Amino acid sequence: MNNIFKIIIQFFLKWLAKIYLWRVQPYVIIVAGTTNRHWIKEAVIEELKNKGLSVRGNRKNFNAEIGLPLSILDLPSGEGSFSGWLGILYKALKIILSPYKSAHIVLEMAIDRPEDMDYLLSIVRPNAVILTTITMIYRENFEDLGEIALEYRELVKALPKDGLLLLNFDDQRIKDLAKFASCRALTYGLNEGADYWAENIKKITMGQQFEINGAFIKINRFGKHHIYAKIAAHAIRSEKF
C-alpha cells in the first residue's frame, strides 16, 4: 500500500469508526502499556463473557492507526489490495448503517512514537483503562521512559469522571499516573498493598494456582504475565460488572 493510499484509507476508517462508536455507544475498555497487552485483553474478554456480557476485542494485533478502527468495526485488513480495501470500506458503511446493539469492546492500544496517543484518542475515548508496564522498547523514537509515560498520561486524562483506571502496582511509573485521573484509580499486582493482588502462588501440574483477595484461582498457563492478566481481569469483573 503506497503512502497516499494508506493516508486515504486511514482517514476513512477513522471517521467510519467514530460514527460507529457514536451510534452504538459501547463500553470501551482500553489495555495499554509496552508489555502483556494481549494476555490481559484476552483474560478480560473471557471474564466478561463468563458474566454473560456481549464482548469482543481486537482482531489479531490490530491496535494502531489503521488496525484500531478495524478492530472497532470488527473488520479484517484489506492487506495490500486496492479492491480489498474498497470492499472493507463498503462493509464498514453497511455496519454503521445497520441495526445495532450495544456491547463491550476491549481494545489493545499501541504506540511507538510521540503523539501517537493523541491520534488514537481522536478515534476512541475509553470508559475504562488498564495500564501494564513502561519499558524501553521504542528506543529509536523515545528519549527515555519518562517520555513514554507522557503518552499514557494522556490516556489517563481522557477517562471520564465515572470511568475506571486500573494500574500495575509493581511499575512505579504506571502507579504514579493515578494523580492525573479524575475517576476511580485502583491497582493490581503481585505485591501486597495493591487493591487486587495475588498471593500463595504455586505451580501445579497443569499451570498455576493462587489467591486474589481471598478468591482461589487456577489457570492452565505458566508465567507471571498470565497471573497479572488474571488479576487485572478479576479486578475489572469485580469493580464494574
Q: Is residue 202 part of a domain?
A: yes
Residue 152 lies in a domain: yes
Residue 4's pLDDT is 85
Residue 109 inside a domain? The answer is yes
186 located within any domain: yes
Question: 52 in a domain, yes or no?
Answer: yes
- In this prediction, residue 239 has a pLDDT band, given cuts at 50, 70 and 90, of confident
Which residue reads 467514530 in cell numbers?
18
Question: pLDDT category, 105, cuts 50, 70, 90?
Answer: very high
Proportion of the chain above pLDDT 70, given as a percent: 99
What mean pLDDT do residues 69-95 have?
A: 91
Range of the domain at 170: 26-63+103-240
Q: Find where cell 499514557 sits.
A: 152
Report if residue 4 sits inside a domain.
no
Establish if 139 belongs to a structural domain: yes
Identify residue 190 by its one-letter amino acid code. L
70 within a domain of the structure (yes/no): no
Q: Is 204 helix (H, G, I), strand (E, B) or coil?
A: strand
Question: Following DSSP, what letter does each residue of 123-157 receive, concatenated?
Answer: T---SEEEE-------TTT-SSHHHHHHHHHHHHH
- For residue 164, what is the domain's CATH number? 3.40.1190.10
Q: What is the mean pLDDT of residues 66-94?
A: 91
The predicted pLDDT at position 143 comes to 86
Q: How far apart are CA 169 and CA 148, in angstroms?
A: 18
First to last CA, the chain: 41
Distance CA 45, CA 41 (A): 6
- Residue 169 C-alpha cell reads as 502496582
Average pLDDT for 135-149: 85
The chain-wide mean pLDDT, for the chain, equals 93
Q: Which of 188, 241, 239, 184 is nearest to 212 (CA)?
A: 188
Residue-level pLDDT at 73: 94
Torsion of CA 25, 27, 30, 31, to 10 degrees: -150
| Residue-wise pLDDT tens digits, 113-128 | 899 999 999 999 999 9
- Give the mean model confidence (pLDDT) for residues 144-153: 93
The answer to whether residues 57 and 41 touch, using CB atoms and an 8 Å cutoff, is yes
What domain count does the chain have? Answer: 1
User: Alpha helix locations (H) across 51-194?
Assistant: 67-73, 82-97, 116-121, 145-157, 172-175
Phi, psi of 235, rounded to the nearest 5 degrees: -65, -45
The pTM of the full predicted model, rounded to 2 decimals, is 0.94
Span 162-201, pLDDT tens digits: 999 999 999 999 999 999 999 999 999 999 999 999 999 9
Other residues' Cβ atoms within 10 Å of the Cβ of residue 4? 8
Has residue 1 got a pLDDT over 70?
A: no
